[in-house]
Structure 1
Amino acid sequence: MAQAITAEQLNMIKTTLIARFNAGLKLAREDYKKVAKVIASSNKSNTYAWLAQFPSFVEWVGARQHKAIKEHAMQVVNRKFETTVDVLREDIEDDNIGQYGTLAESAGIAAIDLKNDLVFQTLANGFATTCYDGQYFFDTDHPVYPNVDGTGSPATVSNVQAGAGEPWVLLCTKRAASPIYLQERMAVQFDAITDVTNDTVFNYDKYSFGGRWRGEAAYGFWQCAFGSRAELTAANFQAAYAAMMKCKADGGRPLGIIPDMLVCGPDNQAAAEALLKAQQNAAGATNINYNKVELFVSPWMIAPASVTEDEEDDLGS
């Protein structure tokens, strides 16, 4: 006569699935770390008081210059994500659980894929999503003020090129200020329901194992990014590069931004490689953009939802 499932069997399955889940975490590529800085969160949400300019050193003459810099508060609420693997009770009874290890490992990979998706889709959606100054992250009219304290009548600065194609983004990732942040409230964890008296086991005859993560992607400094949905040509790339280098803080001080990475999706890969990886251009002349910035092609960097006519007008098309 067949024996009932024992606690030892369930613990062995739990140990195996957790090990395979953790293997998946290590196997996946953490691409989001290339463009985003990770910030720990200790509450339901984080509220950021973004300064209107980067800190700067000035000559010390007399007393220190204590400035009341204009701040912009932005609240980022953590979201909760899950993935579940259900193990049928009869599969345990029949010793048919090999496929569940593969599922658990895939769930671990999916946990990292979630972070990649959040960060790169946040970038791709920046053409129609607001950041700390109330403008779209990629917009034509970010306000920059004539006085260091954020007062006066602002000028407007653009960090976008109009278009309707798959987005590509030029980034500055080598500064303390980051264009994108990944806010993490709880690290990825893997839980299990193996008690036979639990409703799921009793009513549905299956044991449940699942991953869980809490966090969110958030926009940082628009000055560290330039977005385009125009064709990825040398002229458009050079215009974006120059615009970032010319970016100034409130008060007119140059920020010293130097782009160092081009991020695009698969539709722009060939154009990006021709732009940055070929030592000669199509005419046979020296390619002045050769290795000018790092190229990163992400499968998560895909076109956002269609832009409305009003949004196209706002982007200056």
Structure 2
Amino acid sequence: MKFTAENAKQVLAHLYTGFKTTFNKAFTETETTWQRIATEVPSKSKAENYAWLGKFPKLREWIGEKVIKRLEGYGYTITNRSFESTIAVHKHEIDDGDILGLPIIFASMGEESKQFPQDIVFEALTTGFKNKCFDGKTLYATDHPVGDKGKSTFSNKLTEKLSWASLADAEASFGAAKTMMTSLKDENGRSLKIKPDLLVVPPALESIATSLMTASKFADGTENIYKGNAEVLVDAGLATDTEWHLLSTKKVIKPIIYQNRQKPELMSKTDIQSDDVFKRGEYLFGVEARGEAGYSLPHLAVGSTGTT
């Protein structure tokens, strides 16, 4: 169909339908893994307060009055960020039929939009060595307070390299992380029953992590007592080639919070009377999204920088 002033609206509507179909198909078919480590929380404001974090609902023997866990104890807030991706299609490109590459572009936009939560969730995980969680400490710290009064502390931070060279090396890395999590207790000395099940590594550590979790023997020939202790998840979004993270992901809440304010969606600005068209001859198509990722409970994760 020839693009003219008279049929511009019809042609643009037809093109947008095609672009959106391509976008949605790529969006649907793109696989993500962020759901393994993050709990999705809907957001209805520019920021959400997670005062309830730290009020772990473990049952206690009821003697005398009930002990009330009030939610105002913490002021951890996750503020949404805004994201966008916009392209311009010139009216002459449409008029000349020069749009063969556009389906690829919109498919890519759909793919990237599906990956949007993936990017910010793993960004939060990898920055856990420097960004704070609800208790005022970095996600990975050596002195997280236990309970409201913080009379004791616990550590969920290591520096050991992930290794399967020998039992001693594995015990110093993966074994130490596992023990940190499974031995955690609440302020009353009762086990929190944390069970680590997911080992997250960068591509550079995939071979080591996979061998550690699947091989019957360590590299030195001794029996691998950690075989099958956790699944391995590889993600290129981790900032370094040495860090690794052991997570507990089977509880109701996962280590990372994905705060969803606005799901990525394709939009268009194709009013032929708009200034963009009049001044530059451009029709605009783009994606907008809002959200952020933060941290839930630090005892659900142990992180190592892998530097020693």
TM-score (norm 2): 0.70
| Correspondent of 2:139 among 134, 137, 146 | 137
Partner of 2:284: none
CA contact (8 A) 1:277 1:290 kept: yes
Using the alignment, how far apart are the partners of 2:218 and 2:144 within structure 1? 35
Secondary structure of 1:269's counterpart equals helix
One-letter code aligned to 1:161: L
Further displaced range: 122-131 or 69-78: 69-78
Distance 1:265 1:88 in 2: 41
Q: State the distance in 2 between where 1:139 and 1:66 align.
A: 28
* Secondary structure of residue in 1 paired with 2:57: coil
1:66 corresponds to which residue? 67
Aligned residue number for residue 224 of structure 2: 287
Secondary structure in 2 matching 1:38 = strand
Secondary structure in 2 matching 1:98 = coil
Matched, 1:155 2:157: no
Number of the residue aligned with 1:245: 182
Task: Give the Cα–Cα distance (whole angstroms) in 1 for the partners of residues 90 and 230 of structure 2.
Answer: 51
Candidates 178, 181, 196, aligned match of 1:259: 196
Query: In the alignment, which residue of structure 2 is the partner of 1:85?
Result: 87
Q: Which moved more, 1:254-263 or 1:23-32?
A: 23-32
Runs (5+) with no aligned partner, structure 2: 164-169, 242-307
Q: Which 4+ runs in 1 deviate beyond 6 A? A: none
Is 2:197–2:230's contact at 8 Å kept on the other side of the alignment?
A: yes
Assess, with a 3 A threshold, how the Cα gap between structure 1 residues 55 and 296 changes in structure 2: closer, same or farther: same
Match of 1:289, SS? coil
Q: 1:10 aligns with which of 9, 12, 15?
A: 12
Q: RCO higher in 1 or 2 (8 Å CA, sep ≥ 6)?
A: 2
The alpha-carbon deviation at position 133 of structure 1 amounts to: 0.5
The reply to whether residue 232 of structure 1 matches residue 162 of structure 2 is yes
8 Å CA contact 1:24–1:106 kept in 2: the answer is: yes
**Distance of aligned partners of 1:95 and 1:254 in 2 relative to their CA distance in 1, 3 Å threshold:** same
**Alpha-carbon distance in 1 for matches of 2:69, 2:4:** 71
Residue 271 in structure 1 maps to residue 208 in structure 2:
yes
Q: CA deviation at 1:79?
A: 0.8
Give the match for residue 233 of structure 2. 296
Shift of 1:69: 4.9
CA 1:102–1:51 in 2, change beyond 3 Å: closer, same or farther? Answer: closer
Q: Which amino acid in the other structure matches residue 23 of structure 2?
A: F
Aligned amino acid, residue 186 of structure 2? A
Q: Which amino acid aligns with 1:30?
A: T
Deviations 1:26-55 (A, max 9, x none): 121121111101000011110111343421
Amino acid at match of 2:200: V
SS at 1:126's partner residue?
coil
Work out the CA distance in 2 between the residues paired with 1:54 and 1:68: 9
CA contact (8 A) 2:122 2:237 kept: yes
- The equivalent position to 1:121 in structure 2, one of 112, 120, 123, is 123
Alpha-carbon distance, 1:81 to partner? 0.5
Distance 1:3 1:77, change over 3 A: closer
Among 103, 106, 110, the alignment partner of 1:104 is: 106
The residue identity in structure 1 corresponding to 2:210 is: E
Give the Å deviation of 1:57. Answer: 2.1
**Distance across 2 between alignment mates of 1:136 and 1:3:** 57
SS in 1 for 2:58: coil
CA contact (8 A) 2:145 2:152 kept: yes
The counterpart of 1:46, out of the listed 45, 48, 68, is 48
**What's the RMSD between the two structures over aligned residues?**
2.4
Hey, what's the Cα distance between the residues in 1 that align with 2:67 and 2:186?
A: 17
**CA shift at 1:238, angstroms?**
0.3
Unaligned runs of 5+ in 1: 163-229, 305-316
Distance across 2 between alignment mates of 1:65 and 1:54: 15
Q: How far apart, CA to CA, are the structure 1 residues paired with 2:3 and 2:126?
A: 55
**Counterpart position of 2:31:** 29
CA distance in 1, matches of 2:190, 2:52: 18
Q: CA deviation at 1:250?
A: 2.4
